[in-house]
Amino acid sequence: MNAADTSTPIAPVQSHLIFGGLVAWGISHATSRFATWRIFFLCIGLLTIIVGGLVCHLLPDSPVKARRFTESEKVAALLRVKENQSGTQNAVIKKDQILEAFTDIRVWLIFISTLLSSIPNGGLSIFNNILLTTFGYTNQQALIFDIPQGAVGIVFVLLTGYLSDKWGDRSITMLVCILPTILAAGLMYGFVAEDGTPLNKPALLAGSILSGTFGAAFMLSLAWNASNIAGHSKKVVTYALTLVGFCIGNILGTQTFQDDEAPGYSSGKVSVMATLSALIVVIIGLRLYNDHLNRVNERTLEAMGEADREALREQMAFADLSDRRNPFFKYTH
């Protein structure tokens, strides 16, 4: 899975800010006995149900079941798996892979990175429009400003796909997406007085618009982690821990913005800078550890004869081994 494969379908996800902002702005003008937030949730909820049904019906769970692929294309997809040694879907639960997942420091680094990236997501996704009103904008203006933020998000998602493929490096591209959000949180913190008075509205607006760029890094990390974990049972455990980290982080993120700190919300802004700075350290640590494991695998293969090495490669191609038990597995940047 290359980054372009991931970023292209995910780019429309960022358009929810544009679409949602327009819908919310339009609904905010409604005059009805029905609360405007209820109208919004009914519209978005109905659309979610429709799209979810289409996804369940149209999206295959493996290349082999993709109806749009010819038989030769399905074979090509399997040969690609054979080449990168990432394993195929396997319904057999392997206890050794489950145990390995819980004892592999890389899996826990993935969990921590997901947690750290989800904390600012939980805070900013809920409080971003509230922050805009504290900067001196009206509620309706705050809703319409979701549009440029969504546009910036789409640009960064597509840019990450292009740069990571061009550079052959996902971790560095992730840092490119994280740094603007740290800068944005710094702007929103630095240009607000201690009593919450906005000191520079254009700078604060720029910070708000840039605050969502880290979302592209999170999406890229999903592809990065998927390509660096092998063994179906181990992948399932890793994905489960990723979901747990995502949920916990989003819950914690909402608690970083406290009512008693309004309208400045200094703790929330500082938490964005702190968690994303820590995330950079985790990404670099994971990258260095991947390099270490690659060197270990290279030394193992160098100790084998060429005939033995090729015979073992064929044997392990579809064996559904975990990445730590397969010396042919190559961890990516």
Tell me: pLDDT of 5 over 60.
no
Residue 54 lies in a domain: no
Query: How confident is the model at residue 118, as a pLDDT?
Result: 94
Q: Which residue in 104, 177, 117 sits closest to 323, CA to CA?
A: 104
Residue 102 lies in a domain: yes
Residue 81 lies in a domain: no
Query: How confident is the model at residue 183, as a pLDDT?
Result: 96
- pLDDT tens column, 104-141: 999 999 999 999 999 999 989 888 889 999 999 888 88
Which has more confidence, 314 or 278?
278
Query: How confident is the model at residue 78, as a pLDDT?
Result: 66
> Is the separation of the CB atoms in 242 and 114 below 8 Å?
yes
Tell me: pLDDT of 289 over 90.
yes
Instruction: Report the CATH number that the domain containing residue 187 is assigned in CATH.
Output: 1.20.1250.20
User: Which DSSP helix (H) or strand (E) runs through 45?
Assistant: helix 36-58
The arithmetic mean of pLDDT across residues 156-181, rounded, is 89
Over pLDDT 90: what percentage of the chain? Answer: 40
Total domains in the chain come to 1
Tell me: pLDDT of 247 over 70.
yes
Query: How confident is the model at residue 119, as a pLDDT?
Result: 95
- pLDDT tens column, 56-109: 888 777 777 777 777 777 777 666 655 555 555 566 888 999 999 999 999 999
Residue 70 lies in a domain: no
Which three-class secondary structure state does DSSP give residue 90? coil
Over pLDDT 70: what percentage of the chain? Answer: 86
Residue 19 lies in a domain: yes
Residue 113 lies in a domain: yes
Could you tell me the residue range of the domain that residue 204 belongs to? 3-30+94-325
Which has more confidence, 41 or 2?
41
> Is the separation of the CB atoms in 119 and 249 below 8 Å?
yes
DSSP string covering 114-181: HHHHHHHHHHHHHHHHHHHHHTT--HHHHHHTHHHHHHHHHHHHHHHHHHHHHHT-HHHHHHHHHHHH
Query: How confident is the model at residue 314, as a pLDDT?
Result: 73
| Residues 68, 113: Cα–Cα separation, whole Å | 35
Q: Is the pTM of this model over 0.85?
A: no
| Residues 23, 307: Cα–Cα separation, whole Å | 63
Residue 49 lies in a domain: no
> Is the separation of the CB atoms in 189 and 46 below 8 Å?
no
Tell me: pLDDT of 149 over 60.
yes
Query: How confident is the model at residue 100, as a pLDDT?
Result: 95
